[in-house]
Structure formats: structure tokens, C-alpha cells
Amino acid sequence: MSSFDDTIAAIATAPGEGGVAIVRVSGPDALRIADEVFRSAAPKPSERATHTIVHGHVDDADGNELDDVVLLIMRAPQSYTAEDVIEIQGHGGNVAAKRILRRVLDAGARAAEPGEFTKRAFINGRIDLVQAEAVLDLVHAGSERAAAAAVEQLEGKLSRSFNELYDFLVSIAADVEATLDFPDDELPATALPELLQRLNTADERIGQLLSTWDEGHILREGALVVISGKPNVGKSTMLNALLGRDRAIVSQVPGTTRDTIEEKYVLEGIPLRLVDTAGLRETECEVEQEGVRRARAHIQKSDLHLYLIDASKALDDDDRDHLAAMKSEKCVVVLNKVDLGQVVRSEQLKDATVVRTSLLTGGGVDEVRRAVIGKLTSGISLSAVPHASISERHRRLLVEARGGIREALSLIRDEAGNVVLAADRIRDSLENLGMITGKVYHDELLASIFSRFCVGK
């Protein structure tokens, strides 16, 4: 049974020219509105069975034809929103679709808010919040692997993991509450040790879910790979070589790049955000100073850092300072211009991952690609079937839940069996876990999730 008493409508296809444009309508008046705006041979839409497709046309209020269309009828609860839904498929283009939408709104629907169709699917119990987020992940997927992971999440595999953990913690909470009814001298000797063991198991299960975050972060957002180094070491040439096209201006004049240049690139199924940056140096030019500041800011938040060095010249103090500030597990050092003679040796760079290149001739680019994918997918098997992975929202709530469980462990184990406070911490953990799938939610949580959706989804 729907939780909404109004009917919403929106254009469900992307703006611009196309073969087909779809106007989606959902709510208790959807079929009545179809009867009012749609004309075809009898029977009327409201008298037809669910999942019926009818050819006809949409008329304006005066009976003039607006468009030749196909009408899809999906009755509750067998629809995307679990409400009565109609979809009017007309000719593509902005004008035709807007004319149909305006007619539907005049007939009594209201304009849908961003993500409101999926929000209704959640409120009406058709999907949970994790599956709702998977819809957005699928729309935004930047690679085949990201799309496959989103589909698995949409099918409910990740939700099952969260629900099993939630149910397990509910059983622990119930047993903890039960111990409060016993006087201390009558509590079975095995009760608290068993609770500690089960809380440790819950902690381990959360750890297993948290371990999927790195892959989920990369698939959803794309790995931020920042190309940096001193001026004129080949940063822009590196960007162009990785992309396979001339994206950045290449010049022998130092300081040509003064701002960041970002491009999307998919490498072995992993979406990347490649960023070329201004050369790192001291300068009196205010514009170049801002470019250097932006370069350093991108380096700080990068998932991987490609630091280029002119290998034909000896290392100087600036290079040493830059290298000393880098985290070896997040950096690949590229010794470029080896065709001019290699003065800088790998041994001088200690634990760094080093690749030799001659970007002028194209030498070493494949080795750079292999080094990048090796660093980014450490612990991730690209040959394995893509699987649903937790998002940043899930990670935050899991960390909170884990903190509560660990506090409960400490209270039971180290503070003379303080079960009352432990029970309170476990309830906090349950609330955090419940907010992941939507067992527990508030308006602000729903707004933060569905506001990221497009109108019509």
C-alpha cells in the first residue's frame, strides 16, 4: 500500500535529441490521468490489465493531438515504485516531451523531485536504501566493472550481508538485555564469555565489510591519479600519452601548465581521473603560484601520485624534498627522458616504485600503466567477478557501529561486567547499522541520498 496520496510526473529520459522520450507518472491518480490525456481504441487505460502496452496519442485539453505515443501500464504493486505507474513514450527531443509533461501536470500530477520515484520505491518497501544507492551507482558507472558491481548491489547481495549482520547483533542485544534480569550471583558463568565471543564475531564481520571500501571507492568515484613534478619534466606529455591523444599543450617553455587539467580514463576496468598539474617550483608569478598551490592540494588527496623526474639531470634538493614527502605505497616515480642519458638511478630512490620512460618516443608508457593498475588494485583481483562494495556512507556508519561494539566489549571485559552501559552501546551500533539499509531513517538521511538523483529516476 502506497504511503503517498499524490501523483508525480517527470521526464525520465535525458534531455536533448533522441529517438524516444519518456514521461513517467506514479501515484494513485496515474490511471485516471492516463484516461484523461491518452486516446486509443477501447478499453480505457484504467480498464486494462497491468503490464499492457497500448499505441495511441496524447491530446491537449481541447482534443488536439500533441504526439503519437506508446502507453505502458504498470499497476501496483508490480511497478518500479510499487504504485500505479504509467509511462508515455513519445518522440524524442525536448519540446515533444515537455508538451506531454505539461499536459500530465495540468491533469492533476505534480512535478517530481530529484530521485522521488526511487524514494517511493524505498518507502513502499520494494527496495532498501542500499539498493536505491545502487540505482545511482549504475547510472554513474564509469566502467563495465563498476556497472557489474552496481547490478550485484541492486540485486541485493550487499543488503543481505548488512541484514545478516543486523540480525546477528539484534540477537546479541536481546541476550545482553536478558542478563540484566539476573542478579549478579545467579548469572550463568558462561553467559558473559559467550557474549564476548559473539561481539568479537560481529566486530570481525564489520571488518570484512570495511575491507571492500577501497574497491568501492575506486569504482564509484574513479581513482584520482595526479601527475606532478618540476616544470618541463614531461607531465603534460605523460597525460597525452596515457590518454592516447593530445589533451594538454606541450611546450619547451617551463611553466606552460598553470592550472590543473582533469580527464577521465578507464584502465583495465578501473575508472581513473587523470590530473595534469602545474610544475612544482618557487615563482614570483601570482597565476603560477596559484597553479602550484592547486597541484599540491591535488597531490594531498590523490589515490595515486605519478611523480616525474628528468632522468638526464642530477637530482636536486627540490626533487629530494618532494620525494621525501611522498608515501611510497601511493606513488610511482617516473624517470623520464632516459633517451638523453640516464643520470638519475633507481638506487637513489630507495623504496620507491620506479619506471623508466622516454615519452618523446613513447617508450615505457605501458610500464607506467602496469605500475598504476598494480598500485591501485593491490589486494583486488581484477580477474575475479566484480562484487558489490560498500560506499563512503556505508563505511562511516560501519565505523560508528564497530566503535560501539568495541566499547561494549571493553565494558563487559574490563569494567567489572558493566552490562548496562554495554547494552546501550550495542543499541547505538544497531541504530547505525539500521541506517545503512533504511531499517532506521530520518528525513535528513533520505534527503542526502535522493537529492543526488536526477529528476525522473
What CA–CA distance (Å, rounded) separates 317 from 323? Answer: 10
- The verdict on 107 and 136 lying in the same domain is no
Q: What is the pLDDT of residues 372-420, one digit of tens each?
A: 988 888 766 665 666 778 899 999 999 999 999 999 999 988 765 688 8
Mean predicted lDDT score pLDDT of the chain: 87
Predicted confidence (pLDDT) at residue 433 exceeds the cutoff of 60: yes
What CA–CA distance (Å, rounded) separates 56 from 385? Answer: 44
Q: Say what percent of the chain tops pLDDT 70.
A: 90
- The verdict on 395 and 368 lying in the same domain is no
CATH of the domain at 426: 1.20.120.430
- The verdict on 229 and 208 lying in the same domain is no
Q: Is the peptide bond before 77 cis (omega within 30 degrees of 0)?
A: yes
Q: Is 85 exposed, middle or buried (0-12, 13-18, 19+ CB in 10 A)?
A: buried
How many other CB atoms are found less than 10 A from the CB of residue 119? 24
- The verdict on 88 and 163 lying in the same domain is no
What is the structure's pLDDT at 329? Answer: 81
Q: What is the pLDDT of residues 336-368, one digit of tens each?
A: 898 898 888 887 787 788 889 998 888 899 999
CATH of the domain at 81: 3.30.1360.120
- The verdict on 112 and 146 lying in the same domain is no
Is residue 292, in this structure, part of any structural domain at all? yes
- The verdict on 401 and 296 lying in the same domain is no
- The verdict on 308 and 428 lying in the same domain is no
What is the span of the domain harbouring residue 286? 220-376
What CA–CA distance (Å, rounded) separates 279 from 227? Answer: 10
- The verdict on 174 and 236 lying in the same domain is no
Q: What is the pLDDT of residues 245-258, one digit of tens each?
A: 777 555 555 555 55
Is residue 385, in this structure, part of any structural domain at all? no
CATH of the domain at 317: 3.40.50.300
- The verdict on 372 and 255 lying in the same domain is yes
- The verdict on 419 and 316 lying in the same domain is no
- The verdict on 201 and 239 lying in the same domain is no
- The verdict on 351 and 421 lying in the same domain is no
Is residue 382, in this structure, part of any structural domain at all? no
Q: What is the mean pLDDT of residues 60-79?
A: 94
Q: Which of 236, 177, 151, 169 is nearest to 206 (CA)?
A: 169
Q: Is the peptide bond before 231 cis (omega within 30 degrees of 0)?
A: no
Number of domains present in the structure of the chain: 3
Residue 13 and residue 97 in contact, taking contact as beta carbons nearer than 8 Å:
yes
